[in-house]
Structure 1
């Protein structure tokens, strides 16, 4: 799997390097065109008018702010009583090979390699409302389609995911010459199909199965034509109680998910008044979950680390509408192998 990730990441990295190299190459090869015989030489004013931005193109800083919103909504707010509706489409793939062994009397009686793959398509609708000029509320509703295939069985599920309610608050007025600071909070509701209540072969989970609260802080600084950003957050999850899920030869009755620390950083670069690129890194470290079974046995899972490198392209199709495309590559065994996403506003 590591080799496959390298084969995917290398062409994408080369393409990204080429993309950033194009403007520099163009600057080094800007030979003025020859003047046609009999034509008047181009004036300085004419050249200035040709290079000036056209009406409706907007500022690069505005494009960068929209790009930050697409990367993660925690980087921007909207004005009081305004409403913003956003649609996100995301595809993710997870594939792994597991060695299955059965030990009896100290010797191996079974040895085989189990191939497992999972495909997920998530349609997410988000509604932002400006409670105050520096306070924005948010409601997110995901619709998830998930298909999983392994050596023993396969199944598909299509249902609502976990709803979330959030708020973003800027304690200080945003100014161009200093970083913007935003405090974030989010409550996740277990409205999706719980992984702790699924019977083997009856479909796939579309939710986490537990409620969770997340608090964090994000910082961004726009230095036209570049925007730098970073974030830090912490998540606490409620336990899943009163379970009765058959897990091998035991029955699972309670799960206490571990705490999660997440952080991210990156930058956005405006290539023009209509096109921007992004490069970001996100990582989440989750402590082990505590499991309790009906026979009194208690166990704890290992700590998990998920890291993803994201590359994106934003294209402004109108002064109010920017479409953002992104590709993510998993960097650890606990991460999705690949993600592909699209973000666009619905309030044109």
Structure 2
């Protein structure tokens, strides 16, 4: 009798642990994806590659007053993982694990985005980004597609660019929850295209031209506003509130000009996310519980190739990989400027 009780207790604890791991892992992966999602304000390799080609002989590295630019970006990320499927059958008053199967899980994300910048002044640039997102998961055959979270950005360069000196740019960004929220969908039927909350971020980026090399980096902080008034079903409970908290991200790297037409770069991007809190309500008992996910660190390594396809057009292709468990396994990207007919040509990155 004691042996049977021990088996029953072990199975119960195992099931509870597996369910908790799945829930926490899913939430942690979503937070890691959001933290490593490319933002307009990041000190990315595209701007550094353009500086390699076009640096010098200009007062500011932002757009001139009245200048406009439109860029198209394509980003693909792949997440691979393993999932444990347990076959549990009743045996008298207890349950027995008959089979444990480990199967691969793949998640694909495609993002087509358009970024528009406008030079409000020679040292102030306003930006707007519209992403179109498509996601697929092979194991459960889930998908989600639509508009992602729209964001707006302001960049400010306090002083003119001086050859040989490091240039600094301050930025602030607002993310709006225009995409499909992960807290309002049926998790067993579809995937989200957005983060579900408003987000604020700000920081500083810097770069220095050491011909033929450009060194660049950035440091920023972010905060996601709480999501309240939710009624998402999660098992026999109802998700009512989410507090994602704050995060810190940084990036650093260099770009090197091989010739007038070709440039290479390497960069590292890391992020730290503070713990999140989820408020759950169980209607059957009227009990409210609060669950917290642990804080985490994520990082990716990126390599990019810049090719001048015309005197005023530079195409950028990048390949990256994750360096932590919750980071993407594969990252592919393409960036192309779009010529705006009648618009004043940009003089910055």
TM over 0.5: yes
- Residue 226 of structure 1 aligns with which residue? 213
> Could you tell me how far apart the structure 1 residues matched to 2:103 and 2:229 are?
31
- Residue 104 of structure 2 aligns with which residue? 115
1:281-332 C-alpha deviation (Å, 9 max, x unpaired): 0001101110101131001001122211000100001121000000011110
Q: Could you list the runs of 5+ residues in structure 1 that have no partner in the other structure?
A: 1-60, 70-74
Give the alignment's TM-score, normalised by structure 1: 0.76
Of the three residues 157, 163, 178, the one matched with 2:144 is: 157
State the shift of 1:64 in Å: 4.0
Q: Cα gap change, 1:130/1:112 in structure 2, threshold over 3 Å: closer, same or farther? A: same
Please, what is the CA RMSD of the aligned residues? 2.5
Contact persistence 2:130–2:151 (CA under 8 A):
yes
Mark the structure with the bigger radius of gyration: 1
> Could you tell me how far apart the structure 2 residues matched to 1:68 and 1:339 are?
27
Contact persistence 1:154–1:201 (CA under 8 A):
no
Residue 92 in structure 1 maps to residue 77 in structure 2: yes
Matched length: 281
- Residue 230 of structure 2 aligns with which residue? 243
Following TM superposition, where does structure 1 have runs of at least 4 consecutive aligned residues deviating by more than 6 angstroms? 66-69, 101-108
- Residue 31 of structure 1 aligns with which residue? none
Of the three residues 174, 180, 184, the one matched with 1:197 is: 184
Q: Cα gap change, 1:63/1:311 in structure 2, threshold over 3 Å: closer, same or farther? A: closer
Contact persistence 2:154–2:173 (CA under 8 A):
yes
- Residue 126 of structure 2 aligns with which residue? 137
Contact persistence 1:67–1:268 (CA under 8 A):
no
Give the alignment's TM-score, normalised by structure 2: 0.75
Between 1 and 2, higher relative CO (CA 8 Å, sep ≥ 6) is seen in: 2
Of the three residues 58, 78, 82, the one matched with 2:63 is: 78
State the shift of 1:65 in Å: 1.2
SS at match of 1:182: strand
Q: Cα gap change, 1:117/1:172 in structure 2, threshold over 3 Å: closer, same or farther? A: same
SS at match of 2:239: strand
State the shift of 1:258 in Å: 2.5
Contact persistence 1:67–1:314 (CA under 8 A):
no
